[in-house]
Homo-oligomer: A and B are copies of this chain.
């Protein structure tokens, strides 16, 4: 509106300075070009009180992301997100181009989040707890390189894509398989303070020449590398062998009523094997409440069918308390992957739209058939800044 035009190069109509929400950005006045630089810092610490398996007190740079996003020539968007806190071959996160000429329908090519889990699509910047539920690491399909179409209306969101490898996937001698993943969301009630959401997602993946599958999960905090249940690296158990395909479904519900939000997901994942199949199940249910009156409903973004950032109402920030129960069952097909359940209590202080501090207490209970129970208490804290 009142932005004075600065003629830039000969082939541009002009450009204006923006500094929206602290991000460094430029946009041409004709909106043909835009670019912004963002970042996210999450620093964690955790202490454990365990009776058996050593979990390891310590600190962790949980996320250190740099993000460049924008668009060129009106309709071609892009996102370039690198997470330096990850191991080197997992650093590339969202790296894609997106055609937006058929708004609200978009077509995306590159490395993207496969459209499956509500919590994962929310992202951990905006998550209620410091870590996702155990199903996230164990059962939820993450980012892969592929082609995805998405659209949304007033009361629905849908995405469907075909996907190949992970990025920097070194073992590329044989066929690396391919998957089809889709998600549909219905939001019959949607206002600034109220929301009812129901969603379904499904994945089918043919594993190509890769016949080994790891299923495992950290116990509620990323400070430890221990996986008390599951198969594959860090579990002490071999991965599932003779695997041919993976089929998974996710049912998800969220209800927001003013400052109160209730959300749950249940995932069933079947690993098709040469002569049998392995079934894994898990889910979570959580409730959160803003003591300072904010509502998660106002942060809902229909374009991605998930929640975005909370903006505190008061100058002293927003306070939120939350409770989650989550479970993961991995005993099937004669394999003893174990069964785990966590109870997590959390409190968040959103100092402002960019800065947040979180504290989580986690009651961990994990056991394998024939083995002893691993019971532990974890206390974890996080400082977070997004720019």
Contacts and interface: CB of A to CB of B under 8 A. Distances in A.
Contacts of A37: 24, 35, 37, 68
Contact of A165 (B3, B59, B351): B59
Nearest to A39: B80
A353 to B, nearest CB: 8
Interface in A332-387: 351-355, 383-385, 387
A153 interface: no
Contact of A80 (B64, B78, B167): B64
Contact of A68 (B27, B28, B39, B226): B39
A331 interface: no
A64 B35 contact: no
A276 interface: no
Given A12-B20, A35-B387, A175-B58, A43 B145 contact: yes
Interface stretch (A87-95, A189-197, A244-252, A286-294): A87-95
Nearest to A88: B88
Contact of A4 (B6, B82, B223, B355): B6
Task: Name the 10 nearest CB pairs between A and B, nearest first.
Answer: A59-B164, A88-B88, A59-B145, A97-B385, A15-B19, A9-B20, A58-B176, A109-B383, A22-B72, A72-B354
Contacts of A61: 92, 95, 110-111, 145, 167-168
27 contacts: A11-B21, A15-B19, A17-B26, A21-B33, A22-B33, A24-B25, A24-B70, A37-B68, A39-B68, A41-B95, A43-B95, A56-B175, A57-B164, A58-B208, A59-B144, A59-B146, A59-B164, A60-B145, A61-B111, A66-B82, A72-B387, A76-B352, A82-B84, A85-B167, A97-B384, A110-B383, A172-B224
A354 B353 CA distance: 33
Interface residues of A, number: 91
Nearest to A36: B24
Interface string A50-72: 00001011111100101010101
B19 A12 contact: yes
Contacts of A353: 73
A29 B68 CA distance: 24
Given A39-B80, A84-B82, A145-B45, A176 B15 contact: no
A170 interface: yes
Interface string A177-217: 01000000000000000000000000000001100000000
A2 interface: yes
A290 B387 CA distance: 41
Interface of A: 2-4, 6-9, 11-12, 15-28, 33, 35, 37, 39, 41, 43, 45, 54, 56-61, 64, 66, 68, 70, 72-73, 76, 78, 80, 82, 84-85, 87-89, 91-92, 95-97, 109-111, 144-146, 163-165, 167-170, 172-176, 178, 208-209, 223-226, 351-355, 383-385, 387
Contacts of A172: 56, 58, 60, 223-225
Contact of A3 (B7, B109, B209, B383): B7
A301 to B, nearest CB: 17
B26 A24 contact: yes
